[in-house]
Amino acid sequence: MTLEKKPNLIKWSLKYSISAAIAGILCCVAPAILFMFGLMSGVYAISFADFFYKDDGSSGTGAWVLKGIALCIGIYGVYSFRKKQNQCAIDKKSKRKNLILLIIITLFVGVGLFLSIEKWSSWYFDEHIVPAQQKELNIPIKDN
């Protein structure tokens, strides 16, 4: 029986936390990026994002499904790290410390990145996509 190489804690946590954050905010990032590259109009970008939110702007079913998928990605990252770590010859105390560090890093990086992207996408929608939508629909643009 050959033991595998010890998994890299930082790379593992970054891989799964970034994946989870992007999955959780995909409803806003996808239309923003497609609009940014001219592949989607303002009207369609807004309607795409509106699919995931209620009329009052709070999270709808679609947004909660994406957040659930993000949570599952994070949990799977922790589970698979633990499983891979158990194949290595590492003492139990070190394994426990690594697992706790992985959970903390994944949680903070994932949530922090999610909130940062959410803030950026809100700004981008307000600054670029909403004015484009109003122009496309011939709605007078309001000055704030």
Residues 62-77: tens digit of each pLDDT: 999 999 999 999 999 9
Residue 59 counted as domain residue: yes
Whether residue 70 is contained in a domain is answered as yes
Q: How confident is the model at residue 144 (pLDDT cuts 50, 70, 90)?
A: low
Residue 143 lies in a domain: no
Amino acid 101: pLDDT: 94
Full domain range(s) for residue 62:
9-136
Q: How many domains does the chain have?
A: 1
Whether residue 78 has pLDDT greater than 70: yes
Return the pLDDT at 106: 95
User: In this structure, what token pair is assigned to residue 26?
Assistant: 């995909």
In a domain, 128, yes or no: yes
Instruction: Return mean pLDDT, the chain.
Output: 88
| Phi, psi angles (nearest 5°) of residue 4 | -80, 165
pLDDT for residue 2:
54
How many Å apart are CA 8 and CA 96, to the nearest integer?
Answer: 15
